[in-house]
Amino acid sequence: MEALETIMHLSVKPCRLLCLLLLLFNFSTNSAGADQTVLKKASLIPLWYPQAQFAGYYVALEKGIYRNHGIDLKILPGGPDHSPTQLLRSGEADFAVLWLSTALQQYESGEKLINVAQIVQKSSMMLVARKSSGIDTPADMQGKKVGIWGGGLAIPAETFFKKYQLSVREVRQSYTVNLFLRGGIDVASAMWYNEFHTILNSGIDTDELNLFFLHDYGIKFPEDGLYTLAKTYRRDPILVDAFVKASLAGWAYAFANPEETLDIVIRLMNEANLPANRAHQQWMLARMRDLIQPLNSSDSIGELKLSDYEAVGSALQINGVIKTVPGFEDFVRRSDAR
């Protein structure tokens, strides 16, 4: 009150007064939440090279959202030579972007990690075949050459084959779709937001393709989530909460400002010497928006639903990927709200 009275005595203009008050208020909340002067260091490892799939994190970093939440975040370079699970395990990364199926597999193998936010709400994985190959139904894939990604990314597709009791000739698919484009395989794995668009932008029209969205065939595996080790969470739950809040705020900003977001993503791709195609990143960002926004408007963004968790757990169990499904409470960060 004393300060306020002093300001009043200065007889400044009302708008300037308001600004000053806001500044004052802002400062006080910051100091109450996280000390601005002492930022906590943390690191995040994305699943892949910089691209719009991780736009929310890059934007949050770029726009100082992590900093505002008291985190000095470093986003580690992703890519085929940088396994998020390994980096998480080794402690080089505090947070990782992982698929739910991969995370459960890791959990089973003894790595106690925790889902702190479920970013992508539904499966965007799909199998793509040329119409000319005559593969119109899952049954037509019997005995065909199918491109499958390595590691945890293979789980949804393999669940699909088991569900339809298909024995296919699995060919390890690289991160390009050229093997499919050249006719080296009959069916390719593709993410709706990425490889599918790459195929379209290699001159193949949608009506020349048969698309099998795993989601439509009951393989409803939520994908990108944010994970940390259980011990990290125990050590500093405030940091984890702040990281989740900032990441979600980053996504909200990215969707609200797509052009600025694309500028940031393209710049990072150029810096990483990656071919950067704005049309492709634009497609990817738009699809991420479709995937991240909750299916029901009542649900909040970034939340792993128990029903999804149980469905994935039992599917993985049935298909022998994991033996036991960890308790939901153990696996999921206890949100402050609950």
Partner 1 sequence: MRADRSIAYKLILVITGCSALIFAATIGYSYYHSRMVLERELEENARNQVLASVNRVETILAAIGKVTEGLARSLETFNYTDKSLNTMLMATFAGNNEIYGVCAAFEPDASSGPGSRSFAPYFYRKKGDFLFVPDDTFEYLTQDWYQIPKELGRQEWSEPYFDQGGGDIIMTTCSVPFYEMVGNERRFRGIIATDVSLDGLTDIVGSMKVLKTGYSFLLSRNGTILTHPSKDLIMNESIFSIAESRNIPSLRDIGRKMVHGESGFLPYTDIQGVKSWMYYAPVSLTGWTLAVVFPEHELLAEVHSLTLTLAAMGIAGILLLAVAVVFIAHSITTPLRALSKATEVIAAGNFDAELPSIRSQDEVGVLNQSFIAMRVSLKKYIKELTETTAAKERIQSELKVATDIQASLLPRIFPAFPDRPEFDIYATMDPAKEVGGDFYDFFFIDHDRLCFLIADVADKGVPAALYMMVAKTLLKTEAQRGGSPDEILSAVNNILAADNENCMFVTVFCALMDTRTGEVRFANAGHNPPLLIESQGIRYLALKAGFVLGPVLDSTYETERITLQPGETLFLYTDGVTEAKAPEAELYGEQRLLEALQRGPKEELAEMIQHIRAAVKQHANGAPQSDDVTMVAIKYRGTK
Q: Distance (Å, rounded) from C-alpha 52 to C-alpha 191?
A: 13
The DSSP H or E segment spanning 71 is strand 71-75
Q: Distance (Å, rounded) from C-alpha 168 to C-alpha 146?
A: 7
Smallest distance, Å, CB 261 to partner 1? 16
Matching residue, tokens 């088991």: 162
DSSP assignment of 192-251 equals TTTHHHHHHTTT--GGGEEEEEGGGGT------EEEEEHHHHHH-HHHHHHHHHHHHHHH
Smallest distance, Å, CB 161 to partner 1? 19
Q: Distance (Å, rounded) from C-alpha 307 to C-alpha 300?
A: 15
Measured in whole angstroms, the distance separating CA 192 from the mean position of its chain's CA atoms is: 14
Smallest distance, Å, CB 38 to partner 1? 37
Count the alpha carbons within 13 Å of 109 in the hemisphere toward its beta carbon: 11
Residue 301: count of CB within 10 angstroms of its CB = 16
List phi, psi (to 5°) of 42.
Answer: -155, 160
Q: Nearer Cβ to partner 1, position 169 or 231?
A: 169
Q: Nearer Cβ to partner 1, position 275 or 320?
A: 275
Smallest distance, Å, CB 199 to partner 1? 9
Q: Nearer Cβ to partner 1, position 204 or 301?
A: 204
Q: Nearer Cβ to partner 1, position 20 or 272?
A: 272
8 Å CB contact between 321 and 162? no
CA-based nearest residue to 242, from 56, 25, 33: 33
Smallest distance, Å, CB 80 to partner 1? 8
Smallest distance, Å, CB 200 to partner 1? 7
Smallest distance, Å, CB 184 to partner 1? 3
Q: And the tokens for 112?
A: 């106690």
Q: Nearer Cβ to partner 1, position 3 or 279?
A: 279
Under the rule (CB under 8 A), what is the footprint of partner 1? 80, 145, 150, 171-174, 176, 178-179, 181-185, 200-203, 205, 273, 275-280, 282-283
Q: Nearer Cβ to partner 1, position 143 or 150?
A: 150
Q: Nearer Cβ to partner 1, position 36 or 178?
A: 178
